[in-house]
Structure 1
Amino acid sequence: AYLIENGKVTRPVKGATLIGNGPETMGRVSMIGSDLKLDEGVGVCGKEGQSVPVGVGQPTLLIDALTVGGTQA
């Protein structure tokens, strides 16, 4: 998470904790960046002795009205 001041991304928030309801938060996405990045080394997903490598990723998002806890870095 990054602090946005006067419409500009200024600095990271250290130890950020995002607080909210997932589906409601997705409804508050107001902008989506074009900087999609994937982390393919996250781990595996398994069921009944079978496993498949999985990864996660997302572009930068601007979410309106999200509660963020943490301290400025």
Structure 2
Amino acid sequence: MVLRPISAWQQLERRATIQSNLASQRMEGLEPDAEVLQDCEKWVRGEASIDDIVEIYKARLRASGAMSHVSKPLK
């Protein structure tokens, strides 16, 4: 997927979205690991789409055996 550069304003909006979502998770007692936070930053900077980030996360879980019940994406 080819991504278009995003503006500084879009990056600020994305960072606010991430911070809000992380705060919600933390209120539930969940803390994302460093890899998830790095992936979020890739989205904030426009280096990856949300779809990319979700697939990266699923692949990481599959590799760990945590999601052996989830099918691999069709290509």
TM-score (norm 2): 0.24
Higher-Rg structure is: 1
User: Of Structure 1 and Structure 2, which has the larger fraction of its residues in strand?
Assistant: 1
Higher fraction of helix = 2
Q: Which has the higher contact order (CA 8 A, sep 6+)?
A: 1
